[in-house]
Amino acid sequence: MTLNQKIRNLRPADIVFIIAAVICLAPFISSPIALILGFTLASFGLVPTQFNLAALTKKLLSYSIIGLGFGINLNEAIEASRQGLGLIISSIFFTLFLGWIATHFLKLDKKTGHLIAAGTAICGGSAIAAVSPAINARDDQTSLALATVFVLNAVALFLFPAVGHLLEMSQHAFGTWAAIAIHDTSSVVGAAGSYGDEALKTATTLKLARALWIIPVAFGSALMFKGDSKKIGIPYFIVFYCLAILIAHFVPQFHSTYILIFDASKRLLVVCLFLIGSGITVNKLRNAGHKPLLLGVVLWLAIGTASLTYIELFL
């Protein structure tokens, strides 16, 4: 079916969905509201089925993150990465090790447990998508891990800014905490963006530095489970994000244009969260089961509490 045919076959419910997505571009729609709006429409069956929304979300998320690069100062990015490198590495290995122990203790399927641990340690759904084919995970194992991460991402979008304001965290401190303790890049930038622009810049920089660990962790996972390292997906959008930072730094005469791109990218991220919300249904939450969700919560609380304690004491 061609795009024109898909458009002609739109139902009234599909038009409602498209209008809601467009409204999410408005500045008065925050990331949490967009997520709830998407989830609400999905719950009432108002999500178009003729479009591949998962693929669209992935592309839009990549484009918006690249756009954010135009608003990042190169020197600040280097300094933030340098300061946060130790925390990133230690949090990844801590989470993977704790995930291995907790999976054994809960008697959970090893591959499902490893996928949840990898998603928690690095960058949620992206890490799960990269590690899954490398360890030859079944569809049901991957789906359980993704459902678990999606639930916790939704909670993080509301919980983290509230805790940050309660503890009166600085923009830099909150951005660092969000980058380390929240799973998906979309929820990291959503939570940090609602906290402030400085938090958003810090969180985006550190989160993408953390996301680079998808590659070595996926290779290590393939060796551990005797899988196929040739099936590992590489997140190329990170390269273009870095390129955007370099362009903004070395070609400063277009600064006003870069700011427009940065602001537009922030609004596009809100639309991405709306689309992500539309993919979370009651059935997915129910199918996640209590053991995978329990593992996800344990790992999330551990890394969230440990990183928050470190940040409060040393940053």
Angle of helix 139-166 relative to helix 185-195, nearest 10 degrees, comes to 10
Q: What is the pLDDT of residue 6?
A: 61
Tokens at 188, concatenated: 């990291």
DSSP-based three-state secondary structure for 96: helix
Residue 129: the pLDDT is: 82
Give the pLDDT score at 4: 65
Provide the pLDDT for residue 215.
Answer: 81
* Dihedral sign, Cα of residue 210, residue 98, residue 279, residue 200: negative
CA dihedral 293, 299, 305, 308 (to 10 degrees): -110
Q: Burial level of 296, CB count in 10 A (0-12/13-18/19+)? A: buried
Q: What is the pLDDT of residue 285?
A: 66
What stretches in the chain show pLDDT beneath 70?
1-8, 228-234, 284-285, 287-289
pLDDT digits (tens, 9 = 90+) for 210-243: 888 888 898 889 888 877 656 666 677 888 888 9
> Do 206 and 177 contact (CB within 8 A), yes or no?
no
